[in-house]
């Protein structure tokens, strides 16, 4: 989704904003722009398309001149991607420039009102109304005008504001959208996330809902909704800048695939002490767990897929019914929940609008909420009753890889912990599972050796011209298929469908014809013979089958056209290793098809609108 960067200090603002905008590219965008105050006037340069075009228009950041500015990457919601719809938007008197993330839901009514008062609009966006409203509300004090603005606009937003009448200042507000203040020495920043400013500072303040920040080079003032000055604590983000750079990899996605051994180690190692699991002190009393009639796991996209893996694991070992739901469905289903259900909310970014809404709804209905989140201090992390950080580090590629596998690892930790308290699984089995979990990073490292990756690359190249691919599996392999199909379609634009293998014969098999590619996941020994029949059903219709199998099931190779074996592991944790194969497969198919792997068309990293 859109990205914001803003700067006030002593340096030329444009190059700082250009590099900040580049760090926000991963969020997904279709145009970009910046506004800078110079000699009491606001200069704006913006462009549809990639930041490269903005870079050309600004002469590599040499213009516009000035030391206070705001920049934006836009992901179109209202109005097509175009120069005129790009942000910043400027008020009719030229005194205000704004950048906005989110949606102003009542923009149409506000726009009509302003048009009746003689205001004209240049763009089709909901955002331009903010600039014109500020112009209308300004009576000499920018902070007061912003407070009046907040009373009028409805929806979700983070907004950066320049006012030509206060040329050394920059203002920011937010509601249901992320925005942080970066504190530098003799300079300060606003940013949609700290990646945009982390090369300049590691000290950040999270702006609260409805608060107003007024930044100058040497100070930041925070106001509450009644314009009382308030104190805010800062926190340090220890993300190393190199972790937000490609470090020699052709794409962030490949880098992040290779970071998985470390990421999963960081998720699990601090929580396993002498074979026992401690979830950062989160206290689950046996009496509480006994009172539960079920668990709801809620997320979107890959986080939802991780949830389905978690459902299988928790149901099997904790004997608790688990319902895994898409957040966008959960929030409008009047979910039957309360204190007798635990709600596990999964989100890499911690800012996904539907998932945040699901968390709030579950809490409102009295359910205890546990968030599995990567981004520290994100909205979901702050609002959940308990939080289990995945510690995956920054994930820049739009398609999640380490974000997903660390979510699965965190769910395994949770499942083992709950089973131990509930006494639903023998101690010996829990120790085996804990050991298997600790061995995952080592096994992924084996998969990332050149020879293994090379064999996947060869198969990916061979099948890269297919237009339709099926992924089939049973049980936890079906859950892993869902993620494999999503990876392939989102980055390579190849149509891919995941099917519970037993469902093929109930309709989809009619699509299998000579050469149709099916990736069959065969890691569940108990279901081997069932998968064998499903694979034969595909082969006998002249479909091509590529099996992803565990060593124990490698005899499936005689029924398949090709096979990739995952390292030996307990069947219960195989989805993590299968995921690595399917991520690499999708990556190399997309690379062969020359796709924009890190920023696939139409997609955004952090989906902060419904
Ligand atoms: C797919 C992908 C998305 C996200 C989804 C949820 O590769 O990245 O499907 O998983 O948008 O995002 P988070 O986890 O940030 O809530």
Q: Which residue has the tokens 């014109």?
A: 132
Q: H or E stretch including 68?
A: strand 68-74
Spatial separation of the C-alpha atoms in residues 583 and 595, rounded to whole Å = 15
Question: Does the pLDDT value for residue 244 go beyond 90?
Answer: no
- The answer to whether the CB of 517 falls within 8 A of the CB of 490 is no
Q: For ligand 1, is residue 374 a contact (CB within 6 Å)?
A: no
| CB of 301 closer than 6 angstroms to any ligand 1 atom | yes
Confidence of residue 243 (pLDDT cuts 50, 70, 90): low
348 pocket-lining for ligand 1 (C-beta < 6 Å): yes
Asked if 324 is an active-site residue, the reply is no
Percent of the chain at pLDDT exceeding 90: 84
Q: Helix and strand tally (H, E) in the chain?
A: 18, 27
Cβ of 456 closer than 6 Å to ligand 1, yes or no, is: no
- For ligand 1, is residue 300 a contact (CB within 6 Å)? yes
- For the chain, give every domain's residue range: 3-238, 244-448, 450-602
Task: Name the pLDDT band for 600 (thresholds 50, 70, 90).
Answer: confident
Cβ(580)–Cβ(447) under 8 Å? Answer: yes
244-448: CATH homologous superfamily? Answer: Glucose-6-phosphate isomerase like protein; domain 1 (3.40.50.10490)
- Whole-prediction pTM value? 0.83
* 74 Cα–ligand 1 center, Å: 19
Whether 318 is catalytic is no
The pLDDT assigned to 195 comes to 85
Does residue 504 contact residue 472 with C-beta atoms inside 8 Å?
yes
> 3.60.20.10, 1.20.810.10, 3.90.1150.10, 3.30.360.10: which CATH number matches 3-238?
3.60.20.10
Calculate the dihedral angle through the C-alpha atoms of 354, 244, 189, 76, rounding to the nearest 10 degrees: -40
Q: Which CATH number applies to 450-602: 3.40.50.10490, 1.10.340.30, 3.40.190.10, 3.20.20.70?
A: 3.40.50.10490
Assess whether pLDDT exceeds 90 at residue 28: no
Does the fold of domain 450-602 match that of domain 244-448?
yes
Whether 248 shows a pLDDT value over 70: the answer reads yes
Q: Is the pLDDT of residue 329 over 70?
A: yes
Give the model confidence (pLDDT) of 174-217 as tens digits.
998 889 999 999 999 999 988 899 999 999 998 988 899 999 99
Asked whether the beta carbons of 1 and 602 are under 8 A apart, the reply is no
| Nearest-angstrom CA–CA distance, 120 and 116 | 9
Ligand 1 pocket test, pick from 26, 302, 609 with the greatest ligand atom count within 8 Å of Cβ, gives 302
By the 8 A CB rule, do 300 and 400 touch?
no
* Residue showing tokens 């600039």: 131
């Amino acid at each position: 989704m859109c990205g914001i960067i803003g700067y006030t200090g002593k340096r030329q603002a444009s190059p700082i904003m250009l590099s900040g905008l580049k760090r926000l590219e991963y969020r997904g965008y279709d145009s970009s722009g910046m506004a800078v105050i110079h000699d009491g006037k606001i200069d704006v340069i913006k462009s549809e398309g990639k930041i490269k075009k903005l870079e050309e228009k600004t002469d590599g950041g040499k213009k516009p001149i000035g030391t206070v500015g705001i920049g934006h990457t836009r992901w179109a919601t209202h109005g097509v991607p175009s120069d005129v719809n790009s942000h910043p938007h400027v008020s009719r008197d030229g005194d205000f420039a704004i950048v906005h993330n989110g949606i102003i839901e009542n923009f149409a009514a506000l726009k009509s009102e302003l048009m009746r008062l003689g205001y004209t609009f240049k763009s089709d966006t909901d955002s331009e109304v903010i600039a014109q409203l500020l112009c209308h509300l300004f009576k000499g004090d920018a902070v007061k005008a912003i407070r009046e603005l907040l009373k009028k606009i409805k929806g979700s937003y983070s907004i950066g504001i320049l006012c030509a009448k206060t040329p050394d200042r920059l203002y920011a507000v937010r509601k249901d959208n992320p925005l942080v203040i970066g504190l530098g020495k003799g300079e300060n920043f606003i940013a949609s996330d700290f990646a945009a400013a982390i090369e300049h500072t590691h000290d950040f303040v999270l702006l609260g809902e409805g608060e107003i920040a007024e930044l100058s080079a040497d100070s930041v003032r925070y106001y509450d909704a009644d314009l009382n000055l308030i104190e805010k604590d800062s926190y340090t983000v220890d993300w190393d800048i190199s972790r937000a750079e490609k470090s020699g990899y052709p794409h962030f996605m490949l880098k992040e695939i290779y970071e998985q051994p470390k990421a999963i180690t960081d998720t699990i190692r601090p929580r396993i002490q002498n074979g026992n699991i401690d979830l950062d002190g989160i206290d689950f009393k046996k009496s509480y767990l006994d009172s539960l009639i079920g668990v709801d796991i809620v997320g979107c996209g890959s986080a939802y897929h991780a949830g389905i893996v978690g459902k299988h694991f928790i149901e099997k070992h904790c004997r608790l019914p688990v319902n895994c739901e898409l957040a966008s469905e959960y929030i409008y289903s009047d979910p039957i929940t309360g204190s007798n259900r635990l709600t596990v909310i999964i989100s890499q970014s911690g800012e996904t609008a539907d998932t945040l809404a699901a968390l709030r709804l579950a809490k409102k209905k009295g359910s205890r909420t546990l968030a599995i989140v990567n981004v520290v201090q994100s909205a979901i992390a702050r609002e959940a009753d308990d939080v289990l950080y995945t510690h995956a580090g920054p994930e820049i590629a739009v398609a999640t890889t380490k974000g997903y596998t660390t979510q699965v690892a965190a769910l395994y930790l949770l499942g083992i912990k709950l089973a131990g308290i509930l006494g639903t699984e023998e101690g010996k089995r829990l120790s085996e599972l804990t050991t298997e979990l600790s061995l995952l990073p080592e096994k992924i490292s084996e998969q990332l050796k050149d020879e293994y990756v090379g064999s996947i690359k060869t198969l990916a190249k061979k099948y890269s011209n297919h237009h339709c691919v099926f992924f089939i599996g049973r049980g936890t392999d079906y859950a892993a298929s869902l993620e494999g199909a999503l990876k392939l379609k989102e980055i390579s634009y190849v149509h891919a469908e995941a099917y519970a293998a037993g469902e093929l014969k109930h309709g989809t098999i009619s699509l299998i014809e000579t050469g149709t590619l099916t990736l069959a996941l065969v890691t569940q020994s108990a279901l081997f013979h069932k998968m064998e029949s499903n694979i034969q059903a595909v082969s006998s219709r002249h479909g091509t089958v590529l099996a992803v199998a565990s060593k124990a099931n490698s005899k499936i190779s005689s029924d398949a056209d090709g096979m990739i074996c995952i390292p030996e592991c307990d069947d219960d944790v195989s989805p993590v290793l299968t995921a690595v194969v399917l991520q690499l497969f999708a990556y190399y198919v997309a690379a062969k098809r020359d796709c924009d792997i890190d920023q696939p068309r139409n997609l955004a990293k952090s989906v902060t609108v419904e």
